[in-house]
Structure 1
Amino acid sequence: MLERFFQLAERGTSVRTEVLAGVTTFLTMAYIVVVNPTILGQAGMPVAGVAAATCLAAAIGCFLMGLLANYPIALAPGMGLNAYFAFTVVGAMGVPWQTALGLVFISGVAFLILTFAGVRQLIVNAIPKSLFAAIAAGIGVFIAFIGLRSAGIVAPNEGTVVGLGDLTSPTALLAILGLTIIAALQVLRVRAGILIGIVVTAILGWTLGLAQWNPEPYSVEAMTSTALQLDIPAALGIGGRGFGLALLEILFVFLFVDLFDNVGTLVAVSKRAGLMRPDGTIPRLNRILFADAGATIAGSLAGTSTVVSYIESASGVSAGGRTGLTAVVVGLLFLVTLFVAPWVQLIPAAATAPALILVGAMMMAPLAEVEWEDPVVGIPAFLTLVTIPLTFSIANGLAMGVVAYAVLKLVARRAGKGDWLLYGLAALFLARFAYMSAG
């Protein structure tokens, strides 16, 4: 049955190879079960509930990808979008996290509609790949900055805005130790290096008295504390509780970042697995995007931010994964992890901060794809890269990059009739900047 459904022989693989690939992928991305609750917890969300929601959303996403699209790609709540959810939507805009979850749900539904209409594909063609790379790297710097601040390695400074923190504090010392451990494991190519590093750092913190160990009994109530808490009426502005143009901006960012993240991952993993067509297109692309959208809807209902495809899937492909059975195995492992998820609230911030820093470092790789020698794409890419962390907003970086690219393309006389969507997006972003300035 597995052979027929997943076409194992046709793709030159076996059940044993696919299971091994699934385990490999899971070990390289399991850190999200700890890191995602840490980030969303700063938005006031129950940590144990977010941990359980992370496992459930990842499992559903992997099942959809494996069974619907038959691709060896795993999904989970995305790094970057969870930071945007916590620090921009909830923190800076003041949107309640329940309303923010409602916005994630609406974005998932919008993803489905736009995929069915072919709009997501049009957007991909309108934006240069260099800008995709800059957005990914900018989010990486953003995440790393959050980790450095959480660790106390970077602190506010009146004279220079930010400066070096107190490296002799217990939190900073533990974080530096964790950073050393995780970096060493990465150098040694240990597949579960990030997850092992987090756990080892936490244990050292408890042992040395640098963190508190207060275990709580297993609680179904804690696991379900974020489930079905989304407030869709507030997200839609029903009853006068909406946030006006903020709704459109948030949906826009969710759409773009999720789209770019998925496209980059799909191209990288498909190439590595030999699943791309000779013309460079990806077979069953719509099914992949439908799986992504369905996972985001499920994640919002469970109580977590937008679900995306994970580049760590490439580790499973390297281990031989070629079909959706790999993704299904990852989903099953996330389901098993669901039952220990509430315990992640015992992990101190100093143990997860190093993971954020090094995940940010791993997101720098796409910068090699930027055509820096061409100012039409190099300048917008740079503006995107620096604006995201310096303004603490993915939306600002995205807007800056699109507007700059549209203007420079016009100056270089490269604009064509097919760029109508690009200039439409640039006009929307300019209107957004004008609105923000007037406010």
Structure 2
Amino acid sequence: MKQLLSLLGFDVEKHSMRTEFVAGLTTFLTMSYILAVHPQMLSDAGMDKGALFSATAISAAVATLVMAFYAKLPFALAPAMGINAFFAYTLVITMGYTWQEALAAVLIEGIVFILLTIFKVREVIVNAIPQNLRYSISVGIGIFIAYIGLKNGEIIVASDSSMTTLGVWSATSVLAALGVLLGAILLSQNVRGALFYTIMIVTAVGVPFGVTHLPDDFAFISSPQSLAPIAFKFDFSRFVALDFNYYVVVFALLFMDLLDTLGTLVGTAASAGLVDSRIGENRSIGRALMADAVGTTFGAMCGTSTVTTFVESTTGVTEGGRTGLTSFWVAVWFILALFFSPLFLCIPGAATTSALVLVGVYMMRAVTKINLKDFTEALPSFVVMVTMPFTASISEGIVLGLISYVVIKACTFRFKEISPIMWVLTVFFVLKYII
């Protein structure tokens, strides 16, 4: 095995094989909740749940292998939390796009991301967005994800006044609430794979209570689910028709992908001392961004939403992972997971509540980095954070946050703090609302 991996281009002498293997397993266990949560969320948009499971595992494996062989960094990729919520609940359910049209937007975004990476335009766009707004976007997405989790677990339900209220305590909501508590306890004790274990435990406990429904022919192992119902099912009609709103959707997907990827890569790499944290000045970061772009494009072909680098990769780095060998093992585990689809597909919404809520808690950490003392920074950040969950739209939060930032800075004569690109984006978004 050591000779084979060496032939494949891995520096097997840099770190021990065992360390990299354990790091890869740790990363997989920590992020494996995506195999349960992602198909559940996108199936709400009318997509085939079994095919989504295969698409999730295959896109994660292929993108992570690109990271392993091309970037040679210990980062894993999979369909992104937050962006999948935008895909299912905003684009399809709220805005009325078909999932085929939304999938075409993901493919276009992936291709654009590849071009931006090749021509090094990504840092120009991202650097134009104020730091506080970047943090607030992370927080807003976290709150939105938690909101979806609470609804899936029936802890909160829709009320007659078009708002939400506390749900009736039932087996589903009680198990969901206990799952959040269990997951929090395991995370506080630094248990690797805490979210995965919590999902599995709640799923098992839910069987006798009728929350988890097992089919009569249930088996732990089966052949992989077919991708046929969702693979290459693109509808480019709105793109060809030059639909302005559709182009805004593509931009929103691209923007979220850029921020997600850059934040995770730079933060994780810098903290581990792997690469220079300055964007655009390190070849490895550029290659990692390309792995992300290729992953999104390939994932769209498989039939899934945007693929991005997972912040859970930090768990593998913490375990000592330092090379692409760590991400190689993560990809291997995702491939093996293809044969356990019955186990993941029977997982109920109550079981995934814990992952959604606790990932939301994790993303809330960024709020401590927001400058709330300066009102011209605090207000736009607040607009982003509250608009996302209240409108069930990540894109609306981003748009209104950017507009409010430019407006309040201009009204207080702080023009120097507004970049030219921010002016262009603001005009673009205001025209969107007018048109």
Q: Give me the TM-score of the superposition, normalised by structure 1.
A: 0.91
Distance 2:171 2:239 in 1: 44
- Residue 42 (1) aligns with residue 33 (2): no
Q: CA deviation at 1:187?
A: 2.0
Asked if structure 2 preserves the Cα contact closer than 8 Å seen for 1:223 and 1:342, the reply is no
What is aligned with 2:351?
351
3-state SS in 2 of match to 1:155:
strand
3-state SS in 2 of match to 1:308:
strand
Greater shift after overlay, 382-391 or 117-126? 117-126
Structure 1 residue ranges without an equivalent (≥5):
none
Distance 1:280 1:153 in 2: 42
What is aligned with 2:54?
52
Which amino acid is 2:231 matched to?
A: L
Asked if structure 1 preserves the Cα contact closer than 8 Å seen for 2:123 and 2:279, the reply is no
What is aligned with 2:208?
207
Q: Give me the TM-score of the superposition, normalised by structure 2.
A: 0.92
3-state SS in 1 of match to 2:420:
helix
What is aligned with 1:297?
297
3-state SS in 2 of match to 1:294:
helix
Q: How does 1:8-47 map to 2 (within 5 A)?
A: 13-47=15-49
Greater shift after overlay, 408-417 or 56-65? 408-417
Greater shift after overlay, 282-291 or 421-430? 282-291
Q: CA deviation at 1:156?
A: 1.9
Which amino acid is 1:354 matched to?
A: S
Asked if structure 2 preserves the Cα contact closer than 8 Å seen for 1:81 and 1:306, the reply is yes
Distance 1:278 1:178 in 2: 37
3-state SS in 2 of match to 1:341:
helix
Q: How does 1:224-243 map to 2 (within 5 A)?
A: 224-234=227-237, 236-237=239-240
Q: CA deviation at 1:377?
A: 2.1
- Residue 386 (1) aligns with residue 386 (2): yes
Q: CA deviation at 1:221?
A: 7.8
Which amino acid is 2:181 matched to?
A: T
What is aligned with 1:372?
372
3-state SS in 1 of match to 2:415:
coil
RMSD over aligned Cα atoms: 2.2
3-state SS in 2 of match to 1:275:
coil
Greater shift after overlay, 123-132 or 82-91? 123-132
Q: CA deviation at 1:77?
A: 0.2
3-state SS in 1 of match to 2:419:
helix
Which amino acid is 2:346 matched to?
A: L
Describe the superposition over 1:11-63 as per-residue Cα deviations: whole angstroms up to 9, x where unpaired.
x5332222221111111100000000110010011111111110001111111
What is aligned with 1:404?
404
Between the two proteins, the alignment pairs up a number of residues equal to 428
Describe the superposition over 1:147-177 as per-residue Cα deviations: whole angstroms up to 9, x where unpaired.
111211112223582211112x222122122
Q: CA deviation at 1:188?
A: 2.0
What is aligned with 1:361?
361
Greater shift after overlay, 354-363 or 287-296? 354-363
What is aligned with 2:140?
138
Q: CA deviation at 1:342?
A: 4.5
Asked if structure 2 preserves the Cα contact closer than 8 Å seen for 1:46 and 1:225, the reply is no
What is aligned with 1:196?
197
Distance 2:222 2:335 in 1: 16
Q: CA deviation at 1:222?
A: 3.7
Q: How does 1:267-282 map to 2 (within 5 A)?
A: 267-277=266-276
The verdict on how the C-alpha distance between 1:212 and 1:322 changes in structure 2, with shifts beyond 3 A counting, is: same
What is aligned with 1:261?
260
Q: CA deviation at 1:90?
A: 0.8
Distance 1:231 1:23 in 2: 34
